[in-house]
């Protein structure tokens, strides 16, 4: 199992705090703490899509999905599970199609 | 327009001509036409002249009839013709036709109150030998600069800090509180500067130095009274504005050399250009900047204005490498870190003006401050309106009206937009409500400060310091006026008129004049009800109402776009100049000790790999790089007299 929470925290610290972890907790609101500015969400989404090969829909762009390391982790895990489920689904379907 | 410098001794020592010549030689760009030094017991005055009025007899330092008063003067007194007439009638006799001499006679008549009668832009030093008193003064809005420092019991002063640093008794040290202020407000709060021990005479202030004692005195205060215009109709406001702005423009055309104009394609400069056309019979020459980056370029509107107003126009084109190539030289002139690269194109523009044979331009500067044009006013208005009914969907939807030109912001979901702009309950009570989002964002750049700098700053809070500078009436003003006051009193002189104005204009000996900053216009604006400045969300409504008929419809009806320039990306767009590598390298950053080298390294990495897309990264890079350049040019290698900026620029050309 990948240490998604560690990876995400590391990205937030490196990218938005330039390596200076100020000790914020994984549950802290990144908007509230001033960690993320208006373009920060776009950087975040771009990172998630590239790193985990997932698609973040416009309707996903909500603070309840993205506004803390804990929420981000949950959101990413959910997306990965969905992807896996869809992938397995299509893998099962493939032979059917090939017949 | 000119440059001044000098030393006032508390004892009988004589001004040292060699030192004075050295000090003034560093601001030769401000006045390449002539220079002069006056030295006597207790005083040394120096002057670098850019001849604009009274070309033949206006040399300085200048004295009165009996040589008891001496002046070195940078600026223009636009109402000097009227003042001269009055002084003649009172029996004063003039030896020249210059505005400089008017100040001398006016001082004879009024003493230090003379500045209250002057309408202009100035920084001057007047030596009253009878009283053995030095009198320094700066114009009301801070169009022209003036700095000073105490050295032992003496006072050293100059139009630019570099002249003061040339004095052997002045230490060359960064003022960390000044740095903290720049990384919050984009400018220092006068009298503090970015250099320890060197002070800026605040706009609207005079200073006297006598017997070693220094006294600061405010002679003008921006004061809002929106109720003052209650009995006046909109039509009357518009007519008064029409008359005054025409007059402000007319007296700013007084010059013995040709006058041009900046024409950005925006509302303000187009109004000024149209007014010049009304009062001048000669064909007008205009100048502008075009950007290769399409989202910043305003050429289409410039063409509309040029065609409509029939001016002879020159444009300079600015691309990313131009910013990187020129940046070190610009910092040599701004003498403070900048958070945005926007001063650079203005520097290139003044070169275009000088190369075209012009020394004087009129601009539209000041209209956004005085008549509510900036987005920060609109943002504050919407945030406050929404905060009154936080559950209202209709009100929060207004946030989409903010910053339409910022594509990345517009890509945000409604929920995120609301999160960015939501006012905290405590913010509503803050005197800085309008400016908190900007200052909070800029303050985040302090994450780059080194541990040493953080420790030195301790729990210093620059907002508390600023709060102590507010006038007693401030808390009684409406929110719109408060925002205007903050913008006009601090950012206007501290950044717009200096880093983006005087300093980059005078770098190429070009004097800018701003009719909207005629103090009569500023006072008129301060007595106007806010709804005439921003009608619902229509900014500068009264200007459009009063001058719309003089403008091409495309310019009148265009959406407001602030002047912006390429920022951090400029330094990594194609090639990265050698000086950028050098000044941002972990070794240099660590040795200089102002910023945390590992954090800076991460930032540089973001730019190198194209991951820096946010405004915070842009501001951080420009702020850090300009500070590093400043350290090199003014602290480590100052004796090179700006040559290190040449070296940096050359390293850029070679890369």
Using a CB-CB cut-off of 8 Å, the residues of chain A touching B449 are none
Range scoring the smallest mean pLDDT among B223-232, B563-572, B593-602: B223-232
More confident residue, B559 or B628: B628
Give Cα B527 distance to the centre of its chain: 24
A contacts of B616 (beta carbons < 8 Å): 37, 39-40
| Tokens representing residue B190 in the block | 């006068």
Among A18, A42, A63, beta carbon nearest to B447: A18
- CB-closest option in A31, A34, A39 to B615: A39
Question: Which of B379, B423, B616, B623 should we substitute to test contact with A (largest number of A Cβ atoms within 10 Å)?
Answer: B616
CATH of the structural domain B2-218, one choice from 3.30.479.30, 3.20.20.70, 3.60.20.10, 3.40.50.300? 3.60.20.10
pLDDT of B645 reads 57
The answer to whether B2 is a known catalytic residue is yes
Report yes or no: A55 at the B interface, CB cutoff 8 Å: no
Kindly report, residue by residue over B479-537, the tens digit of the pLDDT. Answer: 999 999 999 999 999 999 999 999 999 999 999 999 999 999 999 999 999 999 999 99
Is the CB of A63 less than 8 angstroms away from the CB of B416?
A: yes
Chain B residue at shortest CA distance from A41: B412
Beta strands in B238-328 (DSSP E): 259-262, 285-291, 312-318
Condensed to tens digits (0 to 9), the pLDDT of residues B602-616 reads 999 999 999 998 889
More confident residue, B546 or B558: B546
B440 inside 8 A of chain A by CB:
yes
Over 80: is that where the pLDDT of B339 sits?
yes
| Percent of residues, chain B, with pLDDT higher than 90 | 84
Residue B417 has pLDDT above 90, yes or no: no
3-class secondary-structure state, position B11: coil
Interface of A with B in 68-97 (CB under 8 A): none
Q: What is the mean pLDDT of chain B?
A: 94
- Which residues on chain A are in Cβ contact (under 8 Å) with B411? 42
pLDDT for res A89: 54
B66, exposed or middle or buried, with CB in 10 Å at 0-12, 13-18, 19+? exposed
In B, minimum Cα distance to A64 occurs at B415
Strand order in the sheet with B62-63: B62-63, B69-77, B120-128, B133-138, B205-210, B213-218
Residue B454 has pLDDT above 80, yes or no: yes
Choose the weakest-confidence range: B48-57, B309-318, B508-517, B625-634: B48-57
DSSP letter string, B548-590: GGGS-HHHHTSPP-------GGGGTSS---HHHHHHHSHHHHH
pLDDT tier for residue B388 given thresholds of 50, 70 and 90: confident
Q: Determine whether the interchain pair B420/A38 forms a contact, defined as Cβ–Cβ distance below 8 Å.
A: yes
Q: Which of A18, A40, A43 sits opposite B602 (nearest CB)?
A: A18
So what's the pLDDT on residue B281?
Answer: 85
pLDDT confidence of residue A2: 60
B603 touches chain A (CB under 8 A): yes
- Say if residues B485 and B435 touch (Cβ distance below 8 Å): no
Q: Does B614 touch chain A (CB under 8 A)?
A: yes
Does the structure show a pLDDT above 90 at B100?
yes
Higher model confidence: residue B585 or residue B560? B585
Q: How high is the pLDDT of residue B642?
A: 66
Q: What confidence score (pLDDT) does residue B644 get?
A: 62
pLDDT, tens digit, 9 for 90 and up, residues B170-183: 999 999 999 999 99
Q: What is the mean pLDDT of residues B232-258?
A: 96
Q: How far is B274 from chain A (nearest CA, A)?
A: 39
A40-49, B181-190, B333-342, B599-608: least confidently modelled range = A40-49
Domain ranges within chain B, ordered by starting residue: 2-218, 226-371+489-556, 375-447+461-487, 568-654
Q: What is the CATH number of the domain that holds A50?
A: 1.10.1200.10
Kindly determine whether residue B616 and residue A58, on different chains, have CB atoms separated by under 8 Å. no
Contacts of A43 in chain B (CB under 8 A): 611, 613-614
The residue in chain B having the minimum alpha-carbon distance to the alpha carbon of residue A44 is B611
The answer to which of A5-9, B132-136, B356-360, B412-416 has the lowest mean pLDDT is: B412-416
Q: Are strands B133-138 and B534-535 parallel, antiparallel or unpaired?
A: unpaired
Instruction: Tell me the residue length of chain A.
Output: 99
Q: Do A37 and B447 touch (CB under 8 A)?
A: no
Q: Does A11 touch chain B (CB under 8 A)?
A: no
Give A-chain residues touching B599 at CB under 8 angstroms: 18-20
Cis peptide before B191 (omega within 30 of 0): yes
What is the DSSP code string of B473-523? TGGGS-HHHHHHHHIIIIIIIIIITIIIIIHHHHTTT-EEE-GGGSHHHHH
Q: Report whether pLDDT(B293) > 80.
A: yes
The domain B226-371+489-556 belongs to what CATH superfamily?
HUPs (3.40.50.620)
pLDDT tops 50 at residue A97: no
DSSP letters spanning B183-236: HHHSS--TTB-SBTTEEEPPTTEEEEEETTEEEEEE-------GGGGTTS-HHH
pLDDT given at position B325: 94
Instruction: Give B608 to chain A, closest Cα distance, Å.
Output: 13
Query: Domain total for chain A?
Result: 1
In this prediction, residue B390 has a pLDDT band, given cuts at 50, 70 and 90, of confident
Query: What pLDDT, on the 0 to 100 scale, is given for residue A96?
Result: 38
* Cis-peptide into A25, omega within 30 deg: no
A40/B614 touch (CB, cutoff 8 Å), yes or no: yes
Residues 25-54 of A with CB under 8 A from B: 31, 34, 37-43
Tell me, what's the pLDDT at B653?
Answer: 43
């Amino acid at each position: 199992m990948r240490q998604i929470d560690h990876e995400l925290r590391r990205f937030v610290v490196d990218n938005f705090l330039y390596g200076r972890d100020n000790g914020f907790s994984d549950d802290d609101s990144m908007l509230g703490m001033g960690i993320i500015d208006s373009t920060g969400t776009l950087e975040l989404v771009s990172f998630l899509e590239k790193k985990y090969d997932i698609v973040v829909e416009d309707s996903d762009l909500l603070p309840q999905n993205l506004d803390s390391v804990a929420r981000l982790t949950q959101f990413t895990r959910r997306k990965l599970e969905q992807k896996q489920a869809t992938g397995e689904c299509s893998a099962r379907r493939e032979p059917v199609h090939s017949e | 327009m000119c440059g001044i410098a000098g030393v006032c001794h508390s004892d009988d020592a004589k001004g040292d001509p060699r030192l004075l010549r050295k000090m003034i030689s560093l601001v030769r760009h401000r006045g390449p036409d002539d220079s002069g030094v006056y030295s006597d017991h207790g005083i040394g005055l120096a002057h670098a002249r850019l001849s604009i009025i009274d070309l033949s007899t206006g040399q300085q330092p200048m004295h009165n009839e009996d040589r008891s008063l001496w002046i070195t003067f940078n600026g223009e007194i636009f109402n000097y013709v009227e003042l001269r007439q009055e002084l003649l009638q009172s029996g004063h006799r003039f030896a020249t036709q210059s505005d400089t001499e008017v100040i001398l006679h006016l001082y004879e008549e009024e003493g230090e109150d003379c500045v209250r009668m002057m309408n202009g832009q100035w920084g001057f030093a007047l030596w009253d030998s009878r009283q053995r008193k030095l009198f320094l003064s700066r114009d009301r809005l801070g169009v022209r600069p003036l700095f000073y420092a105490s050295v032992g019991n003496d006072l050293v002063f100059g139009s630019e800090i570099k002249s003061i640093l040339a004095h052997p008794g002045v230490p060359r040290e960064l003022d960390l509180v000044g740095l903290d202020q720049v990384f919050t407000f984009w400018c220092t709060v006068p009298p503090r500067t970015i250099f320890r021990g060197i002070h800026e005479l605040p706009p609207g202030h005079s200073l006297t130095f006598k017997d070693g004692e220094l006294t600061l005195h405010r002679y003008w205060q921006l004061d809002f009274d929106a109720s003052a215009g209650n009995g006046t109709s909109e039509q009357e406001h518009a007519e008064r504005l029409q008359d005054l702005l025409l007059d402000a423009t007319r007296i700013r055309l007084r010059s013995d050399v040709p006058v041009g104009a900046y024409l950005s394609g925006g509302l303000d400069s187009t109004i000024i250009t149209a007014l010049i056309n009304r009062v001048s019979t000669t064909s007008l020459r205009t100048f502008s900047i075009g950007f290769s980056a399409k989202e910043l370029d305003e050429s289409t509107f410039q063409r509309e204005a040029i065609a409509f107003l029939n001016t002879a126009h020159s444009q300079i084109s600015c691309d990313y490498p131009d910013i990187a190539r020129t940046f070190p030289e610009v910092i040599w002139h701004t003498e403070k870190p900048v958070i945005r690269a926007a001063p650079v194109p203005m520097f290139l523009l003044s070169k275009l003006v000088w190369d075209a044979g012009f020394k004087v331009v009129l601009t539209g500067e000041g209209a956004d401050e005085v008549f509510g044009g900036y987005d920060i006013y609109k943002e504050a208005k919407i945030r406050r309106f929404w905060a009154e009914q936080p559950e209202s969907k209709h009100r929060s939807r207004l946030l989409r009206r903010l910053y339409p030109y910022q594509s990345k912001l517009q890509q945000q979901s409604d929920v995120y937009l609301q999160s960015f702009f939501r006012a905290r309950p405590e913010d509503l009570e803050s005197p800085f409500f309008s400016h908190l989002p900007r200052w909070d964002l800029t303050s985040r750049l302090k994450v780059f400060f080194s541990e040493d700098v953080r420790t030195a700053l301790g729990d210093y809070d620059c907002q508390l310091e600023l709060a102590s500078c507010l006038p007693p009436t401030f808390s009684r003003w409406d929110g719109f006026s408060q925002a205007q006051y903050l913008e006009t009193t601090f950012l206007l002189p501290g950044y717009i008129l200096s880093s983006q104005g005087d300093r980059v204009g005078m770098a190429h000996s070009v004097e800018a004049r701003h009719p909207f900053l005629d103090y009569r216009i500023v006072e008129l604006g301060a007595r106007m009800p806010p709804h005439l400045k921003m009608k619902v969300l229509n900014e500068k409504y009264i200007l459009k109402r009063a001058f719309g008929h003089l403008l091409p419809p495309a310019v009148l009806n265009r959406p407001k776009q602030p002047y912006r320039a390429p920022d951090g990306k400029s330094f990594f767009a194609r090639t990265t100049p050698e000086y950028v590598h050098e000044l941002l390298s972990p070794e240099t950053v660590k040795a200089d000790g102002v910023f945390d080298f590992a954090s800076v390294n991460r930032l540089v990495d973001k730019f190198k790999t194209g991951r820096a897309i946010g405004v915070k990264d842009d501001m951080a890079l420009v702020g850090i790089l300009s500070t590093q350049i400043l350290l090199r040019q003014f602290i480590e290698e100052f004796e090179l007299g700006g040559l290190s900026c040449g070296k940096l620029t050359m390293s850029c050309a070679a890369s």
